[in-house]
Chain A
């Protein structure tokens, strides 16, 4: 009885606070990440709204990649990485899940070092649908074509879908990785400096796709190109030396209306 009473009160409490805001896809409270005891990111508090592009900018070693890794529970890959604090995805605490694989299947990630799996190009993209239980060839064909097209790779590989994905060039593997992430049909797509090995024209094409994808999913975009954040992100966080300096509406940050002087200094290229 007592418990139920407490639950109801706390629930109505949270409803009260969120009702006024837009729905939160992701809530991060007091997040601290360290490697073998050395902190890489401390005390981050932020939330990502549904259907927004959330940019993260900052110089190297700011903790941006570690942040993405913690969202996908990649700390379980690496015994030296430890994550403290609370992360809620779709309202659920991701450190207290019954099925961690289900979480990862809802989150697509693209890291700067592209990894084309040693499968055919087709199978690289069809793998995730297959894991979801899709077996029909026609359905798979359709997904593969759609994802490769969105990742701006279809035209280059459509005639050799049966060659190995791991033998593509770096830039092609990068786009293959994006196509693979899209093939998951994720709730949340996280891109970490995706344009690093991709030429400017293709980058622009993918950026357009990302703007479209916003209708279907939430996107976190880590980038070292501040202008890319400005072009795409609705809101942006600035990370610096393991600290989240501030989070704000992108345009505000770029027009000097941020709270912290360091943000503007970084954006204007005074350091980093």
Chain B
């Protein structure tokens, strides 16, 4: 009796030790990042102003604002979404609503996993070979956006598929039983109930696309341009590449400038991500069946 309880005490101690150890690891993982974010805000916060966001860079990019880069990023992201969202949603509809459980479906899944896993610089090479050269788009917003669209396609497919999967099968069968075709069922019952989940995935994709640099370096984003893009066949500046340029390629940049650019970029990405997460949590709390 006594021996057993002393064993219990020992076990409790070991357990607490492990709990603290693992907690420490979690904290050590998180804390440096928080310190880094704090530094970014501390060093870059002061430069951020209305003018910084909405004026052109001046003096060989050592002064002025980031407006063309900001606008260019919006262009690139918007065109990439136009391409990848319809394609990704359709692919997810195929996988969840039509595809059987067989080797062919597994092959598609493997392709999706690999599409997400191929290094971004390899996607860039593909973009150069396919869109810039073979299809003749040149270095343009179109080429950069299509490259990014293919790269982030898995994000849309996976999140859409998950929200389609969350719609119970019984709803589909009830619909089919009334004589609805597969497509009528998808359009009237499945998609309307998955649309908010899909939207969550799209916001996540926006955040991914905003931050990508390597895939657009050689396909459409320019170091510096004295004009704003007029169409998708123009080159553009982009925020992510602008950070790389002012941090490494331009001599004599005041220290707070790249910090400011980094802060704007990370804020855009994290805000998008937070919206996506908040939206997801809100949806989880809202019962529709």
Contact = CB atoms under 8 A, between A and B. Distances in A.
Contact, chains A and B (beta carbon distance below 8 A): yes
B181 interface: yes
Contact of A77 (B173, B192, B287): B173
Given A115-B170, A118-B288, A180 B178 contact: yes
A158 to B, nearest CB: 22
A77 B176 CA distance: 9
Contacts of A128: 178-180
Nearest to A102: B179
Interface residues of A, number: 30
A167 B287 contact: yes
Interface in A127-179: 127-128, 130-131, 164, 166-167, 177
Query: Main SS of chain B's interface residues?
Result: helix
Contact of B176 (A104, A106, A167, A184): A104
B173 A74 contact: yes
B193 A109 contact: no
A119 interface: yes
Q: Which of A107, A119, A181 is packed against the most chain B CB atoms within 10 Å?
A: A119
A109 B174 CA distance: 9
Nearest to A166: B289
Interface in B164-213: 167, 170-171, 173-181, 184, 188-189, 192-193
B181 A101 contact: yes
Contact of B171 (A106, A107, A118): A118
Contacts of A86: none
A105 B176 CA distance: 9
Contacts of A109: 177
B288 A164 contact: yes
Contact of A115 (B171, B181, B188, B192): B171
B286 to A, nearest CB: 11
A117 interface: yes
A72 interface: yes
B170 A118 contact: no
Contact of B189 (A77, A118, A164): A118
Contacts of A105: 178-179
Q: Which of B178, B181, B184 is packed against the most chain A CB atoms within 10 Å?
A: B178
Contact of A117 (B100, B175, B181, B184): B175
A74 B178 CA distance: 11
Contacts of B100: 79
Given A77-B173, A177-B174, 5 more contacts: A103-B179, A104-B178, A118-B171, A118-B288, A130-B188
7 contacts: A107-B179, A113-B170, A117-B189, A128-B179, A128-B180, A131-B180, A167-B287
Interface of B: 100, 167, 170-171, 173-181, 184, 188-189, 192-193, 287-289
Interface of A: 72, 74, 77, 79, 101-109, 113, 115-119, 127-128, 130-131, 164, 166-167, 177, 180-181, 184
